[in-house]
A and B are shown apart, each in its own frame.
Chain A
Amino acid sequence: MRVTGLIAAISILIVLFALAYGLVVLGISGPPAPVKLRLLGEKYLYYMINPATKYFTAESPEGVSAILWDYRGLDTLYETMVLFGAIIGAILVYREYLYSEPRKTGKIYGLSHIVRTVSKIIIWLTIIIAVAFGFTGQITPGGGFIGGAAFAVAPVLLVLVYTLGYARRLGLTHRRALLLRASFLLLLLLVIVTPLIAGGYIFQNQAKPGSAFSFPGRFIDSTPLGGSIFFLNLFELFAVAGAFTVAFILLGVIASLKEGE
């Protein structure tokens, strides 16, 4: 146990040093401090706090907040609302446990027969839509993180509408979810460092000055693939889905422990 701990600590240190050395000395992500700003960055900085452009200034020196709330505020608002809706949904399915007297038998029965039957179809559809978000994120709205978050609805429903035991019977265990998360995170890292191995920059997608490396931009039928975006979306989807599944299984364990008291 102590030896594995030591190995883990040393490998973390090696990775940290390698990254720092690569970034600062070798310049794997391009020049450490770009001398010239990109056009988009220039526009952001020009407008975010600039009393001279009366109708465009956000009056905030913090660029990210200025863009997030003043330039794409509706988007941020909807993100907040989606999260709010998700929480309301979770409370709705969980209300049996939250607002009723604890059952004396200490057993969890799950929700009614009708809810269970309908939830089967909803869980199945949710998984299809979530995975489709990840696969088609480069052509239609959605993407890896959204897909992973949508996927997380499936374990929530499984654990809340049915029981933890049912989720386990379907093969959704925390070990598998962790394995899913870890392996897809590794694949994600692989996509990020692939251009570096090919002689380009870290996180590079299409060709850049000094590196001709490009991920495939189009599918055989010329559907846009977005190069690395397709792979990043896909691997992010399963990494996020795995992470959320672990979290909800843990919450389910805590709930069933409380119920058993």
Chain B
Amino acid sequence: MRARYIAVWLAGIFIYFLIVARITLFDLVVAPIISMVAALIMGGEVVKKPYKAFSPKRWLYGLAYMLYYLLIVEPTCHLRVASMVLGLRDYRPDIVEVSFDYRTDYAIAATANSITNTPGTIVVDIDPRNKKYYVHWLEAYTRDPRVAREKIISVFDKWIKRIFED
């Protein structure tokens, strides 16, 4: 329980130095105090398993995923939607059920945001109890949640699991 607060406190100090972009003795004194205020209020909520935050492997995967997502996934999706706009590609818009098997809130939110941020797919609603996203999809040629899952989430799935799941 206490480890959660310490993890969030340390992360907050790091965030402070990112914001002010300078390191003076003054900052070294005030940063821990500032971060403590935030950690005392939100420390118990921001992370559930603090040891995960200290795993360099997860951070490296996170960084790699960011580059992969921004440099490869996003441009391909943009090109695909652009060709639909230009009439070079067929489309069939519909809302489909997509199942997921994440256990952590962050994995669920990160995948939903990854889906929404790529053109062509938007998460309209979510049913956390039955583990389903409702996704508006421009190429909804199937209504099978498992096939849809293969087509929509499999790109992000293995990355997100390595970053956020156990």
Contact = CB atoms under 8 A, between A and B. Distances in A.
Do A and B assemble together? yes
Interface of A: 112-114, 116-118, 120-121, 123-125, 127-129, 131-132, 135-136, 140, 154, 170-172, 219-221, 223
Given A113-B128, A117-B109, A124-B42, A220 B19 contact: no
B54 interface: no
Interface stretch (B8-16, B78-86, B135-143): B8-16
A114 B113 contact: yes
B51 interface: no
A101 B146 CA distance: 34
A220 B29 CA distance: 11
A128 B26 CA distance: 16
Given A113-B126, A117-B106, A132 B20 contact: yes
B3 to A, nearest CB: 16
Interface in B32-55: 33-35, 37-38, 41-42, 44-46
B19 A120 contact: no
The secondary structure that dominates the B interface is helix
Interface residues of B, number: 31
18 contacts: A116-B105, A117-B105, A118-B109, A124-B12, A124-B46, A125-B38, A127-B41, A128-B15, A128-B16, A128-B34, A128-B35, A128-B38, A129-B19, A131-B37, A136-B20, A140-B20, A170-B45, A219-B25
B25 A114 contact: no
Contacts of A170: 41-42, 44-45
A114 B123 contact: yes
A113 B105 contact: yes
A127 B126 CA distance: 28
Given A114-B109, A223-B25, A132 B19 contact: yes
Interface centre among B20, B44, B109 (most CB of A within 10 A): B109
Contacts of A121: 46
Nearest to A220: B25
Contacts of A118: 109, 113
Nearest to A223: B26
B30 interface: yes
B154 interface: no
B26 A120 contact: no
A129 B105 CA distance: 24
A132 B34 contact: yes
A120 B41 contact: no
Given A113-B126, A128-B35, A219-B25, A120 B45 contact: yes
Contacts of B29: 219
> Which 9 pairs from chain A and chain B are nearest by CB?
A221-B25, A223-B26, A117-B109, A127-B38, A124-B42, A117-B105, A131-B34, A128-B38, A135-B30
Contacts of B126: 112-114
Nearest to B110: A117
Contacts of A117: 105-106, 108-109
Nearest to B11: A124
Nearest to B25: A221
A124 B12 CA distance: 8
Nearest to A121: B46
